[in-house]
Amino acid sequence: MTLHREGTTIILGSLITYLILSALNGIYIFPFSNILAYLIYTFLIVMLVLIIQFFRIPKRKNTYKTNEITCPADGKVVVIEETTETEYFKDKRIQVSIFMSPLNVHANYYPIQGTLPFVKYHPGKFLVAWHPKSSTDNERTSIVVKNEDGKEILIRQIAGAVARRICYYGQENEEVKQAGELGFIKFGSRVDLFLPLDTKIDVNLNQKVQAKLTTIGFLS
């Protein structure tokens, strides 16, 4: 397991803060109350560990089948439904949404191989990720991948109430690999997939999924 580069500044800042607060705790609290001092030490360590683990990147390898759509994020499937996608396709699609809690790995990956005909970032609000309007009102990015057969998938990274920064790395017309790094969302969020109606879905509602490993479905 490694740590994601997006966490370098935050982890270093958290480590410095931990050292400063620990020193102050030892100087001003410990002489008066051992119990309170130990509680503060414990709290600081737990917070530091949580921040470090948030940026973890486990090593995962997989072999993909023809037309397989791989999971772009760790989390839980919270939506599987037919809906109208209004930004790019402007028609009906199957939406699969994955909620990412602060305890999940937050790196995102491309579900298929292809080119990027559309990449767009939207500034916005920070509603809770399960709010009905979060997919249209929150800070988000919309990224479309088109495979060699002309099939297109839209991936939407959505910020949540805790997430305050969406990172994405692809540029329009760039070629990307399946399970290649798409981006990163910091501290809680959601990823939506908009798939063709004839896609064979291979996950269930409330199923826990893992990026690169879980199969979302297959393109026809």
Provide the annotated active-site residues: 189
Alpha carbons 69 and 113: distance in angstroms, whole number: 9
Q: What DSSP state is assigned to residue 188?
A: S
Concatenating the DSSP letter of every residue in 192-215 gives EEEE-TT-EE---TT-EE-TTTSE
**DSSP at 26:** I
> How far is 196 from 144, CA to CA, in rounded Å?
12
3-state secondary structure 77-119: EEEEEEEEECCCCCEEEEEEEEEECCCCCCEEECCCCEEEEEE
The answer to whether 72 touches 109, Cβ cutoff 8 Å, is yes
Q: Are strands 181-186 and 107-109 parallel, antiparallel or unpaired?
A: antiparallel
Beta carbons within 10 angstroms of residue 130's beta carbon: 13
